[in-house]
């Protein structure tokens, strides 16, 4: 039997007029999760300067509860891929992602992280980190301004708020025990490129149809 755990919004509103506030464990849990995101402290190139500026006093990432950058992936739940991902660096980025505990999230910041950016044609540059790890929010721009990172963080917070965090089997906190238990594939260097060039479980490019 399915139990509807949602509290009726009209009832909530009526009760609040009488000074009675109602909520659910899930709402409180998600509010806590979205208000205390701990990003992993690492940067890859120029976009990282904008990320650092976002955490400084003028833009003040702390207002959104995400100022506690952690130097260890074991303590982080958000990876901000800020900058050019070279093929040499890709295995390390995926390894760091694997070491983060669930539930975890990824923001790909800047043209380089989402597509290779101005270095797309470079033999040494990965054409988007979403070839190897799942990306929750993409930020275009070269570089994106701190406001764009703040917007991405708010977008991620909305996503976290809409997720089920308790119950089985869909709850994100249960993913480590269900379909997400395996580690993501770490590529190795082949003769000409990374092997494999992408993780087929993560990367699903749109098929290009060429007309004559
Ligand atoms: S997107 Fe532009 S600013 Fe960001 S890492 Fe690439 S080249 Fe640098």
CATH code for position 78 = 3.40.50.12280
Could you read off the pLDDT of 24-39 as tens digits, one per residue?
Answer: 888 898 999 999 999 9
Pocket test for ligand 1, best of 48, 81, 84 (most atoms within 8 A of CB): 84
pLDDT value of residue 208: 83
pLDDT bin (cut points 50, 70, 90) of residue 174 is low
Say if residue 74's pLDDT is above 80.
yes
Residue 82 within a domain:
yes
Which residue owns the Cα nearest ligand 1 atom 6? 112
Residue 209 within a domain:
no
pLDDT value of residue 178: 45
> Of 37, 46, 67, 34, which Cα lies nearest the Cα of 145?
46
Residue 59 within a domain:
yes
How many Å separate Cα 118 from the centre of its chain? 23
Which residue owns the Cα nearest ligand 1 atom 8? 46
Per-residue three-class SS string for the chain: CCCCCCCCHHHHHHHHHCCCCCCCHHHHHHHHHHCCCCEECCCCCCHHHHHHHHHCCCCCHHHHCCCCCECCHHHCCEEEEECCCECCCHHHHHHHHHHCCCCCEEEEECHHHHHCHHHCCCCCECCCHHHCCCCCEEECCCCCCHHHHHHHHHHHHHHHHHCCCCCCCCCHHHHHHCCCCCCCCCCEECCCCEECCCCCCCCCCCCCCCCC
Between the CA of 204 and the centroid of ligand 1 the distance, in Å, is 24
pLDDT value of residue 122: 92
Average pLDDT, the chain: 89
Q: What is the CA radius of gyration of the chain?
A: 20
Say if residue 67's pLDDT is above 50.
yes
Say if residue 170's pLDDT is above 50.
yes
- The lowest-confidence range among 4-8, 154-158, 190-194 is 4-8
171, 38 contact by CB (below 8 A):
no
Q: Give the domain range for residue 76.
A: 9-195
Say if residue 75's pLDDT is above 80.
yes
Average pLDDT for residues 58-87, to the nearest whole number?
Answer: 95
Residue 67 within a domain:
yes
Could you read off the pLDDT of 83-118 as tens digits, one per residue?
Answer: 999 999 999 999 999 999 988 999 999 999 999 999
Residue 204 within a domain:
no
Average pLDDT for residues 6-14, to the nearest whole number?
Answer: 80
What's the number of domains the chain is made of? Answer: 1
pTM above 0.85, yes or no: yes
100, 76 contact by CB (below 8 A):
yes
Task: Report the largest interatomic distance among the alpha carbons of the chain, rounded to a whole angstrom.
Answer: 71
Residue 210 within a domain:
no
Which residue owns the Cα nearest ligand 1 atom 5? 83
Residue 110 within a domain:
yes
For residues 183 and 27, what is the distance between their CA atoms, to the nearest angstrom? 29
Residue 208 within a domain:
no
62-65 LR contacts (CB < 8 Å, sep 24+): 64/35, 64/37, 64/150, 64/153, 64/154, 64/157, 65/34, 65/35, 65/36, 65/37
pLDDT value of residue 211: 80
């Amino acid at each position: 039997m399915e139990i509807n755990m949602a509290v009726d919004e009209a009832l909530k509103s009526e009760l609040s007029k009488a000074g009675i506030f109602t909520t659910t464990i899930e709402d409180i849990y998600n509010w806590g999760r979205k208000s205390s995101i701990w990003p992993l402290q690492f940067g890859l190139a120029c976009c990282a300067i904008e990320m650092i500026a976002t955490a400084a006093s003028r833009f003040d990432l702390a207002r959104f509860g995400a100022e506690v950058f952690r130097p260890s992936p074991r303590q982080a739940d958000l990876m901000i891929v800020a900058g050019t991902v070279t093929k040499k660096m890709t295995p390390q980025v995926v390894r760091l992602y694997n070491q983060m505990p669930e539930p975890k999230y990824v923001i790909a910041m800047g043209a380089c992280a989402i597509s290779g950016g101005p270095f797309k044609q470079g033999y040494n540059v990965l054409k988007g980190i979403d070839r190897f790890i799942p990306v929750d929010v993409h930020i275009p721009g070269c570089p994106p301004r701190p406001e764009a990172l703040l917007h991405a963080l708010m977008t991620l917070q909305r996503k976290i708020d809409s997720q089920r965090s308790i119950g089985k089997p869909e709850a994100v906190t249960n993913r480590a025990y269900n379909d997400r238990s395996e580690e993501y594939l770490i590529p190795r260097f082949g003769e000409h490129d990374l092997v494999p060039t992408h993780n087929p479980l993560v990367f699903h490019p749109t098929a290009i149809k060429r007309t004559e």
